[in-house]
Amino acid sequence: MRIVIAGGHGQVARLLNRRLADSGHTVVGIIRNPAHTADVVASGAEPVVLDLEKVSREDVAAALDGADAAVFAAGAGPGSGPARKWTVDRDACVLLAAAAAAAGVRRFVVLSAIGADDFDPSLDDDFEVYLEAKSAADAAVRGSDLDWTILRPDGFTDKPGTGKVTVGETVARGSIPRADVAASIAAVLTGNLAVRRQFEVTGGDTPIDEAIGAL
């Protein structure tokens, strides 16, 4: 498969790049900062410098040409302020989905966040804005005609992956190694699992393919 990952320099994305590349897939990482090129190459992906806050749908569709799947794993990041939560966590995701549709790339996977729909709009807080932006992006993707999957992990850690998770429409709050998030996305892509499904995922006791395949 040829898989294009927006946010290709992110911590989860680089783990995903390596996992997919080592399995024989071609991975393209969309990045905003040219200084991240070497890191993306080292993780097994082909870098494409494209600022999703500034480019057109046609520009992004060109980067998706010939792809079998697209993954949105970008994020404004901590300390970015509320404005960029909207322009990256919501708008860039919506843009990538629209570009995927234009390019004929039907398989579309979103790395979202647990509790995204539980935001409190009365709170003037960057994290609540982040959740609201993620919720809006997820809703837009669910409303598309793409073969989408939306993963909502909780509590990233840098512990070694276990290869086991808990998944469900809602799950008890916990934590999950970034490596297991990457493995879950890879399973969704390569196994064509959880098509047009949204689910939460944390660490657990069930092998990833089995857990996601049972949704």
Total Cβ atoms within 10 A of residue 35: 10
Question: In the chain, which residue ranges form alpha helices assigned H by DSSP?
Answer: 11-22, 37-42, 57-63, 82-84, 91-103, 126-142, 178-190, 208-213
- The per-residue pLDDT for range 106-122, each reduced to its tens digit, is 999 999 999 999 998 87
Q: Is the pLDDT of residue 200 over 90?
A: yes
Provide the mean pLDDT of the chain.
96
The confidence score (pLDDT) of residue 122 equals 78
d(CA 201, CA 14): 19
Q: Is the pLDDT of residue 186 over 80?
A: yes
Question: What integer is the mean pLDDT of 120-141?
Answer: 91
Spatial contact of 3 and 68, defined as CB atoms under 8 Å apart: yes
The confidence score (pLDDT) of residue 69 equals 98
Spatial contact of 43 and 5, defined as CB atoms under 8 Å apart: no
Question: What integer is the mean pLDDT of 173-180?
Answer: 97
The confidence score (pLDDT) of residue 56 equals 97
Count Cβ atoms within 10 A of the Cβ of residue 118 and give its class: 0-12 exposed, 13-18 middle, 19 or more buried. exposed
Active site residues: 130
The confidence score (pLDDT) of residue 134 equals 97
The confidence score (pLDDT) of residue 171 equals 96
What architecture does CATH give domain 2-213? Answer: 3-Layer(aba) Sandwich (3.40)
Q: Is the pLDDT of residue 124 over 80?
A: no
Q: Is the pLDDT of residue 173 over 80?
A: yes
Spatial contact of 137 and 151, defined as CB atoms under 8 Å apart: no
Q: Is the pLDDT of residue 93 over 80?
A: yes
- The per-residue pLDDT for range 142-161, each reduced to its tens digit, is 999 999 999 999 999 999 99
The confidence score (pLDDT) of residue 39 equals 98
The confidence score (pLDDT) of residue 120 equals 86
Contacts by 38-42, CB closer than 8 A, 24 or more apart = 39/9, 39/14, 40/8, 40/9, 40/14
Exposure string of 123-148, with b = 16+ CB inside 10 Å and e = fewer, is eeebebbbbbbbbbbbebbeebebeb
**Which of the 8 DSSP states describes residue 161?**
P
Find the farthest-apart pair of alpha carbons in the chain and give their distance in angstroms, rounded. Answer: 47
The confidence score (pLDDT) of residue 202 equals 98
- The per-residue pLDDT for range 34-92, each reduced to its tens digit, is 999 999 999 999 999 999 999 999 999 999 999 999 999 999 887 778 889 999 999 99
Q: How far is CA 21 from CA 3, 25, 57, 174, in A?
A: 10, 5, 27, 29
Domain segments of the chain as ranges: 2-213
Total Cβ atoms within 10 A of residue 122: 7
